[in-house]
Amino acid sequence: MGENTTERPATWLDGPLAPVPDETGARDLEVTGALPPELTGRYFRNGPNPRPGEPSRHWFSGHGMIHGVRLRDGRAEWYRNRWVRTESFVHGTSFVRDDLTFDRRAVQANTHVIPHAGKIWALVEAGFPYEVTPELETVGACDFGGRLTTAMTAHPKEDPVTGELLFFGYGVFEPYLTFHRLAADGTLAESREVEVPGPTMMHDFAITENHVVWLDLPVVFDLDLALSGTTGMPYVWDDAYGARLGVMRRDGTAEVAWYEIDPCYVFHVGNAHEDAAGRVVVDGARYRPENFGALWGDIGGTVDPATGAARSQSASLHRWVLDPATGRAAEESIDDRGVEFPTHDDTRTGREHRYLYTVGGGSIVKYDLRGQGTSAHDFGEDAHVGEAVFVPAEGARAEDEGWLLSIVTREAASDLLVLDAADLSHTATVRLPRRVPAGFHGSWIPDARSGA
Ligand SMILES: [Fe+2]
C-alpha cells in the first residue's frame, strides 16, 4: 500500500480479483447460443479466495476455491463453488512446523485442478495434492503411500501417449528440485533428484517425447526476507543466479544438459517438442527482468526499486530452441503483445503443436505458429478473461477443431464462454449465478476422466 494513499484493498483483493464470501450453487443455468452436446463433463477452475476477514499478503495466497460448471447434452446443469478443505483451511494448521520442517498438508490448494487416473487433484506448488470429488467435496491430501516426500508442482504434464503424469517438487532447502513420475494407474513410480545451484522458484516445466525441460531462472528464495515476515512470497530477482534451461532424458540415461539463456522469468510454458534435428523447442510466456519486477511488486512480493518503477506487467510469447549439437540456445520473440496463460491441445503435450491460445488485454489470442499469425476474440477492455482451456472435438482432424472454455468477468457478473477454437467465433455463453473472481488454472474434465 502506498504510504500516502487512503486505505483501500490490495490490488488482489479488489476489482476482478476480489474474493467471494461464501459457497453457493445453482441449477439449470441460462445458456445463450448452442452448447455442443458432446461437451459433457465438468469445467473446474481454481484460484485463491481468502475467507472474509482473513489477511492476505500476496495475490498468490488465499485458500483455494474451485468453481465448477457441469455441462451435459447441451445443457448447463449446475454451477457450484467450494473451498478446498485442506488442513490449513479446516484446522488453521501452520505450514511451517516448530522444528522448521514443512507440513505439506497445511497448504492453500489454490492454483490448478486436473484429472488423472480417475481422480481429480487440486494443486499448489508448496504442498501435497488434494483430491476432490466430481461434486467438489474434498477427499484429502495424498502422499502416494508416503512415497512423495516433496511438494508437487501445480503444473504436472500428462503424456498423451503413455498416460503418465510427470511432475516435480521444488524446495527452499536441498534437494531444491526433484522429478517425479506417476504411472498411468496413478501410482508413484519414480522420484529422482535433480541438481540446480539454488532455491529457484520453479512454477512450471515442459516435457517432450523423451525429455523433461527445467526452468532454472533467477527468481530465488531469500531466507532473510522470509524471516522478516514482510511478504507472503519471499522470492527475489537475483542477477547473479543466471538463467538456464535444462534438458533431462526421461529415462535417466544421461546427465541434464544445461543451456544458458538471456535472463528472464517464465511462469508458464506453452508446450515443447523435439524437432526433426533432435533440437528441443520450448514456447513460453516470458517476462523481461523489468516486467517481472513490476509484476512482483504489484502483487505483493518485493521489488527492486531500480526496476520497479515500470508498470508494464506483461509477459510475451517466446521460443527457445535448444541444440544438443552446439550446446547453445537460440531464442526469438514470437510476438510482442502482452499475454499470459498459454494453453494448447493437451493431446499434443510434448509433441509438435501448431496453435497456442493465450489471454491478454480483454481478449483470447490464438497463435498459429506456422506463419499464419494471430487472431483474437476481443471481449472489451472492461472484461477480465480467464485462461482459455482447449477441448478437442470428437474425432477432430485439425488441431484446432474443438472449443475454448473461459470464464469472463465484467464487474459483478461472470459467464462461462464457449468459443469455436478454429475461428474464435462465439458458440455459447453460460450465465453463472455469481461473479467468479479472476483466478488461475482449470481443466475440462470429461465424464470418463472424473471417476464419477
Ligand atoms: Fe500457473
Cα–Cα distances in angstroms (integers) from residue 396 to residues 42, 402, 421, 443, in the given order: 20, 7, 12, 19
* 224 domain residue, yes or no: yes
The per-residue pLDDT for 381 is 87
Q: Tell me, in angstroms, the distance from the centre of ligand 1 to residue 28's CA.
A: 31
Q: Tell me, in angstroms, the distance from the centre of ligand 1 to residue 267's CA.
A: 6
Q: Tell me, in angstroms, the distance from the centre of ligand 1 to residue 209's CA.
A: 22
* Whole-angstrom distance, CA of residue 45 vs CA of residue 341: 13
* 156 domain residue, yes or no: yes
Q: Tell me, in angstroms, the distance from the centre of ligand 1 to residue 359's CA.
A: 13
Q: Tell me, in angstroms, the distance from the centre of ligand 1 to residue 268's CA.
A: 6
pTM: 0.94
Q: Which DSSP string do the residues of 264-319 spell out, in sequence order?
A: -EEEEEEEEEE-TTS-EEEEEEEE-HHHHHHHHHHTTS---TTTTT-----BEEEE
Total of domains in the chain: 1
Q: Tell me, in angstroms, the distance from the centre of ligand 1 to residue 228's CA.
A: 26
CB atoms within 10 A of CB 254: 11
* 3 domain residue, yes or no: no
* 1 domain residue, yes or no: no
The per-residue pLDDT for 369 is 95
Q: Tell me, in angstroms, the distance from the centre of ligand 1 to residue 292's CA.
A: 15
Are 404 and 419 a contacting pair, CB within 8 Å? yes
How does DSSP classify residue 383? -
Q: Tell me, in angstroms, the distance from the centre of ligand 1 to residue 58's CA.
A: 15
* 58 domain residue, yes or no: yes
Q: Which DSSP string do the residues of 147-188 spell out, in sequence order?
A: T--S---S--EE-TTT--EEEEEE-SSSS-EEEEEE-TTS-E
Q: Tell me, in angstroms, the distance from the centre of ligand 1 to residue 57's CA.
A: 18
The tens place of each residue's pLDDT in the chain, 452 residues long, gives 333 333 446 666 777 888 999 999 999 999 999 999 999 999 999 999 999 988 777 777 899 999 999 999 999 999 999 999 999 999 999 998 988 889 999 999 999 999 999 999 999 999 999 999 999 999 999 999 999 999 999 999 999 999 999 999 999 999 999 999 999 999 999 999 999 999 999 999 999 999 999 999 999 999 888 888 777 788 999 999 999 999 999 999 999 999 999 999 999 999 999 999 999 999 999 999 888 877 776 666 655 444 444 444 689 999 999 999 999 999 999 999 999 999 999 999 999 999 999 999 899 999 999 977 899 999 998 999 999 999 999 999 999 999 999 999 998 899 999 999 999 999 999 999 999 999 999 999 999 888 76
* 5 domain residue, yes or no: no
Write out the residue range of the structural domain in which residue 38 sits.
Answer: 11-450
Cα–Cα distances in angstroms (integers) from residue 162 to residues 181, 185, 201, 209, 391, in the given order: 11, 11, 28, 10, 20
Amino acid, res. 314: S
The per-residue pLDDT for 305 is 43
C-alpha cell, 432: 453463472
The per-residue pLDDT for 371 is 77
Are 387 and 364 a contacting pair, CB within 8 Å? no
CATH number at residue 98: 2.120.10.30
* 159 domain residue, yes or no: yes
Q: Tell me, in angstroms, the distance from the centre of ligand 1 to residue 405's CA.
A: 17
Strands 206-207 and 235-237: unpaired
Are 156 and 350 a contacting pair, CB within 8 Å? no
Size of the chain in residues? 452
Q: Tell me, in angstroms, the distance from the centre of ligand 1 to residue 271's CA.
A: 14
Cα 54–chain centre separation: 24
The per-residue pLDDT for 300 is 63
The per-residue pLDDT for 16 is 80
How does DSSP classify residue 97? -
* Whole-angstrom distance, CA of residue 84 vs CA of residue 21: 14
Q: Tell me, in angstroms, the distance from the centre of ligand 1 to residue 3's CA.
A: 31
pLDDT tens for each residue of 264-298 = 999 999 999 999 999 999 999 999 988 887 777 66
Q: Tell me, in angstroms, the distance from the centre of ligand 1 to residue 32's CA.
A: 30
Q: Tell me, in angstroms, the distance from the centre of ligand 1 to residue 340's CA.
A: 10
Q: Tell me, in angstroms, the distance from the centre of ligand 1 to residue 320's CA.
A: 20
C-alpha cell, 171: 524446495
The per-residue pLDDT for 290 is 81
Q: Tell me, in angstroms, the distance from the centre of ligand 1 to residue 5's CA.
A: 31
Q: Tell me, in angstroms, the distance from the centre of ligand 1 to residue 4's CA.
A: 33
Q: CA dihedral in degrees (441, 444, 450, 452; nearest 10)?
A: 120
